[in-house]
Amino acid sequence: MIEAGFLSKYIFSFLLILLRVSIFISMLPFFGSKSFPVQFKVGLVLAFSILLTPVVEPRVKEAYMPVLVAREIVLGIALGFIARFVFFAVEIAAQLVSTTMGLGMASVFDPEFGQSTEVARLYGIIAMLTFLAMDAHHDLIRVFVKSYEWMPYGKMDLSVLMGQILSVVVRMFVLALKLSAPVLIMMLITNLVLGFVYRATPQINVFFISSPVFILVGFLVMLFGISVFIYVSGIYIGSIKDELLKLIYALGN
């Protein structure tokens, strides 16, 4: 029979690992999607936790458990946010594009973000396929496993963490502007052209024809800009690993 001392040796480590793993997996792109069955997520979290328990040895006192649990929750959320920041940027860019094209009212349920627009769903699918084609999910999992080696339990400077998160938030909005810029610029040019048309021939009902023109121009720009979208999003998806490593290294030193 398994001795009680043997179980008590690993139960503390297992619970702490389970806490960080569960938060990270729930926010991980593709695996944390709402379309995945809950049983799959639970099984994946338990499998990772069981595999990591024998090799991770927490050196903390039980008296610091509340503080340690709070830090693990904050750290798990931070790692998950960085892992998904590209997809948050894609969602913001798609919302901007949908609003300027007049498609903001055409909303559907997106399994990644909940209520969203058709453009956001299209952009999200392209970004997710790029993410999987680059094998980025395996890189993120490897970096997460390494986080237990480079960043021990309870060792976290909140000022450093906030600085790293703010840096990622800035990159997220910059990426959103880059992805939406082609459509936004063309919508501005189209508005100027329609304004000149109205000044030249006031008899034309510009308001009536502007909606289909915006949709046509917007979809044409999106169609011809798919390769650029994949290239730009691919660069930032490849940088997710570096951002995680930067955070872990900064918190571990």
pTM, to two decimals = 0.81
**Per-residue pLDDT tens over the stretch 66-113:** 777 777 788 888 888 888 899 999 989 988 888 888 776 656 555 555
Number of helices followed by number of strands (H, E) in the chain? 8, 2
In angstroms, rounded to a whole number, what is the distance separating the alpha carbons of residues 106 and 215? Answer: 12
Residue 235: CB atoms within 10 A of its CB come to: 12
Please report where in the chains the tokens 């009902």 appear, as a residue.
205
**Per-residue pLDDT tens over the stretch 44-60:** 888 888 888 777 766 55
In angstroms, rounded to a whole number, what is the distance separating the alpha carbons of residues 124 and 111? Answer: 10
Residue 205: CB atoms within 10 A of its CB come to: 9
Q: Which of 61-65, 136-140, 188-192, 231-235 has the lowest mean pLDDT?
A: 61-65
The CA distances from residue 210 to 77, 192, 198, in Å, are 43, 11, 11
pLDDT of residue 22: 86
Examine the pLDDT at 4 and tell me if it is beyond 70: no
Max avg pLDDT among 62-76, 93-107, 157-171, 212-226 = 212-226
In angstroms, rounded to a whole number, what is the distance separating the alpha carbons of residues 40 and 38? Answer: 5
In angstroms, rounded to a whole number, what is the distance separating the alpha carbons of residues 22 and 72? Answer: 11
Comparing C-alpha atoms, which of 101, 135, 138 is closest to residue 118? Answer: 101
Comparing C-alpha atoms, which of 22, 7, 21, 19 is closest to residue 54? Answer: 7
Q: Where are the beta strands (DSSP E) in the chain?
A: 107-110, 114-117
Residue 143: CB atoms within 10 A of its CB come to: 21
Percent of the chain with pLDDT over 90: 13
In angstroms, rounded to a whole number, what is the distance separating the alpha carbons of residues 231 and 114? Answer: 26
Alpha carbon dihedral 140, 244, 26, 95, in 10-degree steps, equals -100
Q: Are 187 and 211 in contact (CB under 8 A)?
A: no
In angstroms, rounded to a whole number, what is the distance separating the alpha carbons of residues 132 and 183? Answer: 26
